[in-house]
Amino acid sequence: MMTLSQLVLASHNAGKLKELQALLGDAVQVRSVGEFSDVEPEETGLSFVENAILKARHAARVSGLPALADDSGLAVDALGGAPGIYSARYAGGGGDAANNAKLLEALRDVPDAGRGARFVCALALVRHAEDPLPILCEGLWHGRILHAPRGAQGFGYDPLFWVPETDCSSAELAPPEKNRLSHRARAMAQLRQRLGLA
């Protein structure tokens, strides 16, 4: 078991930083890799896990601290798992609205029964840049894709992701509720257990 007082998050996304700090609690101070470097590592991995490890190693290298990286995205059944690892840049870097519009267009003629999807989160924690044994955790959140956006909370594909157990979109959930149910929450629960924080 490793003890951590602080770690660097391999992300410049303020929403993700806030979410992960809330999930980890006060025991660990989470800092953004943006404090140390503006350089984004190239995500050349072919899976969420590979990309998470690449990003964690980069963040540890530039900060000198233990680093946590999350690679997450949306896998849609009707699209063979796409957008997958390309979720953030699905529409070529046009941002959330463009990604959502492209997804809706791709699923335009797909009925509800074929719109199954899951959010995937792979977490990689490295003690240092060359850590030979990263801690890996994975979380899945099952739902389906709506025909139009709903809700104003969250980010990314949240307005299009229908959550069956709450009967609303991910973007209609209050942040504490999302932090309890999401793919990231599920992966973080595993990580907290591994770190002895659970």
**What are the C-alpha distances in Å from 92 to residues 99, 108, 152?**
8, 20, 23
Q: Is 90 annotated as a binding residue?
A: no
Which tens digit of pLDDT belongs to each residue from 52-110?
999 999 999 999 999 999 999 999 999 999 999 999 999 998 999 999 999 999 999 99
pLDDT at 198: 63
Residue 122 resides in a domain: yes
Q: Is 99 annotated as a binding residue?
A: no
Question: What is the 8-class DSSP label of residue 107?
Answer: T
Confirm or deny that 72 is annotated as ligand binding: yes
Overall number of domains in the chain: 1
CATH of residue 32: 3.90.950.10
Is 71 a known active-site residue? yes
In a domain, 163, yes or no: yes
Domain that holds residue 120: 6-195
The one-letter code for the residue type at 151 is G
Is 42 annotated among the ligand-binding residues?
yes
DSSP string of 116-131, one letter each residue: EEEEEEEEEEESSTT-
Provide the 10 A C-beta neighbour count for residue 57.
21
User: 124, 135 in Cβ contact below 8 A?
Assistant: yes
Question: Which residue carries 């504490």 as its tokens?
Answer: 176
On whether residue 1 sits in a domain, the answer given is no
Average confidence score pLDDT of the chain = 92
Taking the C-alpha atoms of residue 104 and residue 97, their distance in angstroms, rounded to an integer, is 11
Residue of 71, 77, 96, 112 marked catalytic: 71
**DSSP β-ladder status, 161-163 and 6-9:** unpaired
Is this structure's pTM higher than 0.75? yes
